[in-house]
Every structure is written in C-alpha cells, then in structure tokens.
Amino acid sequence: MRANPYAQYQSIDLEAKVESASPHGLIAMLYEGLLTRVAQAKHAMLAGQFEQKGLNVTKAINILGGLKDGLDAEQSPELAERLEELYDYCQRRLLDASAQRDTDGFDEVSALIREVKEAWDAIQPEVARMAVAS
C-alpha cells in the first residue's frame, strides 16, 4: 500500500515549521493544533464517528498536557498557576463532553482556548522586538 503523498507533505511541512519556530511560535502552534483537534472531535461526534472523536479528544488532552508542562512558574507564578488551572479544567471538560456527547463542552473549550490564543498572538510583536534587541 502506497503512502498518501499529501499526508507525507503535511508531515514534512509540520516538521519544518517546528524546527524553524521560535519558542513563542511553538506555543502558538500548540494552541492552533488544540483548536483544530477540538473542532475535529466535535465534527466526528456529530458524524457518529466515535472512534475518531476519541482519538481527537485524546490528542487535544495531550496538547493541553504539553502546554502545562511548558509553563514557567519562575517567570510569572500567578499566571502559570491560572493557566495550569485553565488547562486542567479544559482537560476535564473535554473528557466530560466526549463521554456525554455534549457539543457545548467542545464549544466552551474552544472559546476559552481561542481567548488565550488571541492574547498570546497579540504579544508576538513585543516578543519579536525583544529578540531583536538582545
């Protein structure tokens, strides 16, 4: 069986993006990936593709775990604590939404993460200026 050339291209493209991304860019990619996985889980659930829903929920929860692991409490203890609480809540909410087949849960997690992602994206110009200055 031949591999899907488009899937191979996507994999290579993602690897290249990860290798060339700044730390700030990597976090932005994680947020984007999380939002994508939540949307895919919701879509799969609505289509009755429950195995696919489960795979996407698992991937979303793993991304949240990666975001938690990347928190730096030394830089901002209060912010790190609040984000950890948010990520924990989102993980629980995704599990509940998946188990209960509750689209509102997927929508809630997407809205919460989108808000954080927008704030993260908004600080990009400042991060770039700081990198140039150092």
Domain harbouring 77, CATH code: 1.20.120.340
Is 57 domain-assigned?
yes
Is 87 domain-assigned?
yes
Q: What distances in angstroms separate CA 102 from CA 47, 57, 61, one per listed residue?
A: 13, 13, 16
Is 10 domain-assigned?
no
Task: Determine whether 113 is exposed, middle or buried from the number of CB atoms within 10 Å of its CB (0-12, 13-18, 19+).
Answer: buried
Residues 42-66: what's their mean pLDDT?
A: 97
Residues of the domain holding 106 = 23-133
% of the chain exceeding 90 in pLDDT? 70
Is 17 domain-assigned?
no
Q: Please name which of 11, 53, 22 lies closest in space to residue 128, comparing C-alpha atoms.
A: 22
Domain count across the chain: 1
- Give the pLDDT band of residue 14 (cuts 50, 70, 90): very low
**For residues 97 and 92, what is the distance between their CA atoms, to the nearest angstrom?**
9
Are residues 61 and 33 in contact, defined by beta-carbon separation less than 8 angstroms?
no
Is 12 domain-assigned?
no
